[in-house]
Amino acid sequence: MLTLTYAPDGSSGWTSGLVLCNTSRSITELDVKFNHKRIIQTEAGFGALAAAFFDNANQQNTLSLRVRRGVDFSNSAFADPEGALAFTLQQPALFTTTGALKIQLQGVITNTTLYLLNCAVQGINLADWLGSAPSFDYTFNGGLISTISPF
């Protein structure tokens, strides 16, 4: 099971957060991708043979996945394709600021909650249609992944 909840900065926490995915489908079906980068500053050696590297502990984590409305949400199918398109066009307005992404994972053995902090939605793409159940590709870009809730 995977549940993703996005809470913008300045909100009252997870109770007012936006649930983006709540599914019991396999993680592999959601086409989950993760990319971790560490931002490292380099400085020329001022005549030395090697450059100096400064690890500023700045972490950049990117998480992307595909969510299908009506499958990954209970009771959230659209009445018609036009309603689905109207919802799609209004999605970017929901992510105007940074926030935190709550990632709840429950498998056969694993049961954990992680938080992607200082998170912003990098992109929302309408991937495909299945009647009135469109599929969205969400890409989140953030900093540290923590086990401690920011709220």
Please name every residue paired with 7 in a beta bridge, in sequence order, or none if there are none. 100
Rounded CA-CA distance 147/106 in Å is 15
pLDDT value for 12: 87
Q: What is the pTM of this model?
A: 0.82
Going from N- to C-terminal start, the domains of the chain cover 2-39+59-146
CATH topology of domain 2-39+59-146: Pnp Oxidase; Chain A (2.30.110)
CA 49 from centre of chain:
42
**What averages of pLDDT result for each successive group of 10 residues across the chain (151 residues)?**
91 88 85 84 61 66 88 71 85 89 93 95 87 86 93 87
Q: Which of 4, 10, 1, 3 is nearest to 150 (CA)?
A: 10
pLDDT value for 100: 95
pLDDT value for 51: 58
Residues 6+ apart with CB under 8 A from 5: 14, 17, 18, 19, 20, 101, 102, 104
